[in-house]
Amino acid sequence: MTRTERHVDVLIVGAGPAGLAAGAELADAGAGHVEILEREQEAGGIPRHCHHGGFGERRTGGRPRGPYARGGTDGPAYARRSVAAAVRAGAVLRTGVTVTGWAGPRTLDTTGPTGLGRITATAVLLATGARERPRTARLIPGTRPAGVYTTGELQQAVHLYGQRIGTRAVVVGDEPVARSAVATLRAAGVQVAALVTGRPDTPFRVRRSGLPMLTGAVVTALHGRTRLSGVELRHDDGRTTTLRCDTVVLTGDFVPDNELARRGGLTLDPGTRGPAYDAAFRTSRPGVFAAGNLLHAVERAHVAALEGRAVAVPVLHRLAGTDLPAGAGQPLLVDAPLRWIAPNVTGSGGERPPGGRFVLRTDRRLPRPLLLVSQGGRELHRQRLLLPAVPDRPFHLAAEWLDRVDPLGPAVRVSAL
């Protein structure tokens, strides 16, 4: 097995918003040889196929243009801009190259059309993103017909390949991405029969009226032999019904693409299932950093990009030999019904997460929760949120208490009252 071995200063895995922003920032700062590897033929990550997304920072006063952000550009334009910025700054971007595994603590094996590679880096940044759980991972019983999509596959089928989808679709999901699925289906000329959500109330507004919302309903089976013929639902009140359709789009229910992180033996956070990391984006392995939706499935693209820029500082420290040892922090754990917190290690260098706050998720709706941070019975912080915390939506916790963490004490816990 012949592999071409090389050394680079920074190796970034994944050219989505996070990886590209990090590459641009680091190359700009003179980090040396900064290389971004992307397994797809086109760089850009998920936004490549989000024709209906509103990407980039929120513009105040802008006309609502997409389901995610007011203002901003569409996904493909955002992707092109991110790619151009990274390349302009001098990062080496290689597409069609897959990182297939680890050969050392900071050495990665690659496969591409020019052959097999083995790249050792002073700093590695994992930015491999997140995916939606498909039907199988959601354990939806029934037959195995064609016509079953995730939003990711649907968007690519419509926008990248112009494929025929179907005539009548049901969209399932509680997250904003469901609106992207509706928009994509409509753009493809598919009638949307209903948007189905397990929530008791409407989780978000859908642009353009005339879309039936079925709340408090879960999918209990798929029907149809070769092609989907219907989706069976169980409603809150115990009724079951079957919606006739030839297409179903299962949206949201994101899971980090953590394979490389796990195969590399990085510690994972039990809540996010991404690598455990601190406010400086350090994983449990010295010199291995992570950013973007790999860390928290799923935030909007501009959050991923923001993290990409923010990770540049600790990476530069690493290159200069002025970084602090990794793994020195305390695990940050959440109590139910909180699902996860990110970052989820307290860190050691006095860094603050981007924006000076942590991001969290809850499994249950909490009206104006009181968030309590404690370490071994000692209260570090309490904070009342002014708005309800809702499943699948980010809410935040201030980070100023980080200085009060005892570096030798037990794990830090966050609970909601």
Partner 1 sequence: MTVTVTTAGLLPTGDGPYDVTVVGAGVVGAAIARELAGYRLRTALVEAADDIGEGTSKANTAILHTGFDAVPGSLEARLVREGHGLLAAYAARTGIPLERVGALLVAWDDEQRAVLPELLAKAVRNGYHAARLIGAAELRAREPHLGPGALGALEVPDESIICPWTTPLAFATQAVRAGVHLHLGCRVRGVGSDADGHTLSTSRGPLRTRYLINAAGLYADEFDRFLGHEEFTVTPRRGQLIVFDKLARGLVDHILLPVPTAAGKGVLVAPTVFGNVLLGPTSEDLDDRTATGSTAEGIRLLREKGRRIVPALLDEEVTAVYAGLRAATGQEDYRIRHHPGRRYVTVGGIRSTGLTASMAIAGHVTGLLAELGLDLGERRELPELTLPNIGEAFPRPYLRADLIARDPAYGTLVCHCEQVTLGEIRDAFSTTLPPRSVDGLRRRTRARGGRCQGFYCGAAVRALFEKERP
Ligand X SMILES: Cc1cc2nc3c(=O)[nH]c(=O)nc-3n(C[C@H](O)[C@H](O)[C@H](O)COP(=O)(O)OP(=O)(O)OC[C@H]3O[C@@H](n4cnc5c(N)ncnc54)[C@H](O)[C@@H]3O)c2cc1C
Q: DSSP characters for 20-35?
A: HHHHHHHHHTT-SSEE
Token reading at 221: 């089976």
Burial environment of residue 276 by CB neighbours within 10 A (0 to 12, 13 to 18, 19 or more): buried
Q: Name which of 20 and 326 has its Cβ closer to ligand X.
A: 20
Residue 293 interacts with, from ligand X, partner 1, none (CB under 5-8 Å by kind): ligand X
- Whose Cβ is closer to partner 1: residue 32's or residue 96's? 96
Question: Could you tell me the smallest distance in angstroms from the CB atom of residue 84 to partner 1?
Answer: 23
Report residue 90 as tokens.
């001098």
Residue 255 interacts with which of ligand X, partner 1, none, CB < 5 to 8 Å by class: partner 1
Name the binder of 21 from ligand X, partner 1, none, CB < 5-8 A by kind: none
The CA R_g of the chain, rounded to the nearest whole Å, is: 22
Task: Return the structure tokens found at 288.
Answer: 């291995």
Nearer to ligand X, 44 or 347 (CB): 44
Query: In angstroms, what CA-CA distances link 165 with 158, 185, 252, 398?
Result: 8, 8, 19, 45
Q: Which residues bind partner 1 (CB under 8 A)?
A: 1-3, 39-40, 96, 98, 100, 111-116, 131-137, 139, 141-144, 146, 149-150, 152-153, 156-157, 160-161, 163, 220-221, 225, 255, 259, 262-263
Interacting partner of 45 out of ligand X, partner 1, none (Cβ under 5 to 8 A depending on kind): ligand X
Q: How far is the CB of 1 from partner 1 (least distance, A)?
A: 6
Whether residue 196 contacts residue 171, with contact meaning beta carbons closer than 8 Å, is answered with: yes
Q: Strands 217-223, 332-334: parallel, antiparallel or unpaired by DSSP?
A: unpaired
Nearer to partner 1, 156 or 415 (CB): 156
- Give me the amino acid identity at 170: V
Among 218, 332, 313, CA closest to 271: 332
The full DSSP string for 148-197 is EEEHHHHHIIIIIT-----SEEEEE-SSTHHHHHHHHHHHTT-EEEEEE-
Which of residues 117 and 354 has its CB atom nearest to partner 1 in the complex? 117
To partner 1, the closest distance from the beta carbon of 213 in angstroms equals 24
Q: Which does residue 271 bind out of ligand X, partner 1, none, counting CB within 5 to 8 angstroms by kind?
A: none
How many CA atoms, within 13 angstroms, populate the side-chain half-sphere of residue 236? 9
Q: Which residues in 39-96 belong to E strands, given as ranges?
A: 92-95
Residues that bind ligand X (CB under 6 A): 13-19, 37-40, 45-47, 50, 53-55, 66-69, 98-99, 127-129, 132, 151-152, 155, 177, 180, 257, 260, 292-293, 298-302, 304
Q: Name the residue nearer to ligand X (CB basis): 341 or 371.
A: 341
- Helix (H) or strand (E) segment spanning residue 115: strand 115-126
CA distance 13 to 283: 14
CB of 96 to partner 1, least distance (A): 6
Q: How far is the CB of 68 from partner 1 (least distance, A)?
A: 18
Q: Give 28 or 42: the residue with its C-beta nearer to partner 1.
A: 42
CB of 258 to partner 1, least distance (A): 8
Q: 167 or 202: whose CB is closer to partner 1?
A: 167
Least Å from the CB of residue 128 to ligand X: 4
Contact predicate 256/293, CB 8 Å: yes
Q: Which does 47 bind (CB under 5 to 8 A by kind): partner 1, ligand X, none?
A: ligand X
Least Å distance, CB 193 to ligand X, is 20
Q: Which is nearer to ligand X, 303 or 412 (CB)?
A: 303
Q: Work out what residue 87 binds among ligand X, partner 1, none; the CB cut-off runs from 5 to 8 Å by kind.
A: none
By a kind-dependent CB cut-off of 5 to 8 A, residue 156 interacts, out of ligand X, partner 1, none, with partner 1
> For the chain, how long is the longest CA-to-CA vector?
63
* Nearest distance from C-beta of residue 244 to partner 1, angstroms: 17
Structure tokens at 414: 């966050």
The listed partner (ligand X, partner 1, none) that binds 322, CB under 5 to 8 Å by sort, is none
Tokens of 61: 């006063």
216 binding partner (options ligand X, partner 1, none; Cβ < 5 to 8 Å by kind): none
User: According to the 3-state scheme, what is the secondary structure of 76-90?
Assistant: HHHHHHHHHHHHHHC
Could you tell me the two tokens for 352? 């603050």
Structure tokens at 25: 């920032």
